[in-house]
Chains A and B, each alone.
Chain A
């Protein structure tokens, strides 16, 4: 019984206070990869603890420790009496746990299938209606066949100048005036899609930064990182930490891709590309009917304003009013930031990313990241250790 109680306690901790703490921490922006690993460990271990708590609660009457109770239960199973020694309360507990687990796995399977289907359809669509960059149809309007992309390329082809050759095979150009760039993830055939509007909005350097960002998404399979958290959120939409975890992890994944692009093109170039696109983007203002939208069509972000405002520069001088988003003190709220239920001002991922690129926080050193990974391992080891220790 104690095993079940301890496991339930861990499950509760991993389901509420620990995600809340991690979501409101500032250090993840300084070590996105380590933070993502910690988020994954928390999610996996939390689920395991909950399931194992139910199992050990069910088997509790059979023995004082879990291994012994499990052995006794196995013997009963072999003998053909699976319910022997179990009270009705125990069986009811197991039934509830099984139902929850089934729901989680079903939601995961369904959302994965839907995502894969949408992606396949979309990949076909951009393959047929988009223009591969290799063909250079956008430079020769007289060419027969595909309609030339309507961009004024008086300065030459930004895609060629961008110097990114590796994604030439997966790049597709959509002939549409709205500026957009995105990635269609896939195992073998990922696609990076840009619109003609993007080509005319951004300069060659900025375009390069955007392509490298998308390339990092495609190569790093960042979609696989986000998928389980999306399923978790879809299973328990009422659970606030589940929403926060999804928001935090998707922002961290963006930061990973931002860092990869910034290493090649410089953070300010990428920040400028982000800013230009953010301004050029049509503003939906709540037009998108997706659950979890904030009052302005903005999903509540977990990144707090304080995250954007480093307390001090490396040399000790405080950052002051140079940044439009550096608003001192909690009483004043940034225009555009939404107020969370607890009153803390929140800010959108785009603004957060721009701020981070303009003023990169000092990356955590290996001896600072080490403990984070150790913590992730410890969190993962909790369920197994609890079960095996007497």
Chain B
């Protein structure tokens, strides 16, 4: 099954990378597959792709010619549109990691990033993947500054209100960096 999927992808890549119409023989010639593929195999794959609507066929007297129904970018865009239209985790066709947020919520989240989350970039939560640590028992370990998030990482001693890990619970705990 996986092999057939690979083959379909290779054929689509050939069609996407070429400008005009190709015969099945052209496609077979341009395939850079690890093994030589029979002409009939390529034809079968092209017919499958046409049934699924990814490939268009032009009937001509000698041999049918094929082209991608849409550009590669359009295919990517279609997938992205479908994913983004999934307003939240509710729609069951796809399950998206983060649903849409309102501008006001984005502000709340931004504040949380600034005051709570980015402060931790200095203090990477490092849990052994195998140790089945309890969620609340996540241990903090100093791993030095993370170059990926310079926003809050430059402070030598960021004063950050933390209420859970700090222990005091009244905010204003100084985070060691």
In the complex the two chains form, is A182's CB within 8 Å of B90's CB? no
Assuming the A-B contacts A127-B8, A267-B138, are A230 and B92 also in contact, with contact meaning beta carbons closer than 8 angstroms in the complex?
A: yes
Q: Is the CB of A323 within 8 A of B135?
A: no
Complex CA distance for A119 and B86, rounded to whole angstroms: 12
Contact B97 A336 (CB under 8 A): no
Pair A318/B169 contact, Cβ less than 8 Å: yes
What distance in Å separates the Cβ of B15 from its nearest Cβ neighbour in chain A?
Answer: 10
Inter-chain contact A290/B87, CB cutoff 8 Å: yes
Per-position 1/0 for B145-165, Cβ under 8 A of A:
011110000000000011110
Residues of B within 8 A of A144 (CB): 32
Q: Give CA–CA (A296, B115) in the complex, Å.
A: 25
A124 to B78, CA, bound (A): 12
- Nearest Cβ on chain B to A297's Cβ, whole angstroms: 6
A265, CB-defined interface residue at 8 Å:
yes
| Chain A: minimal CB distance from B14 (Å) | 9
A268 touches B120 (CB 8 A): yes
A129 CB-CB contact with B under 8 Å = yes
Q: What interface size band does chain A fall in?
A: 35 or more
> Is residue A181 within 8 Å, beta carbon to beta carbon, of the partner chain?
yes
Q: Is the CB of A288 within 8 A of B85?
A: yes
Q: A127-B8, A320-B163 are in contact. Are A296 and B104 (CB under 8 A)?
A: yes
Complex interface residues of chain A between 98 and 137 (CB less than 8 A to chain B): 114-115, 118-119, 121-122, 124-130
Contact B95 A217 (CB under 8 A): yes
Which of A119, A203, A253, A297 contacts B93 (CB under 8 A)?
Answer: A119
Binding site for B on A (CB under 8 A): 114-115, 118-119, 121-122, 124-130, 144-147, 155, 163, 169, 174-176, 178, 180-185, 189, 193, 195, 203, 205, 210, 213-214, 217, 222-223, 226-227, 230, 246-247, 250-251, 253-254, 259, 262-269, 271-272, 274-279, 281-285, 288, 290, 293, 296-299, 313, 315, 317-325, 334-336, 347-351, 354, 358-360, 362-363
Sampled A-B contacts (25; CB under 8 Å): A118-B93, A126-B79, A129-B12, A145-B17, A155-B148, A176-B76, A180-B83, A181-B96, A181-B97, A182-B94, A185-B92, A185-B95, A263-B132, A264-B129, A271-B117, A272-B118, A277-B98, A279-B110, A279-B113, A324-B111, A336-B107, A350-B101, A351-B109, A360-B135, A363-B135
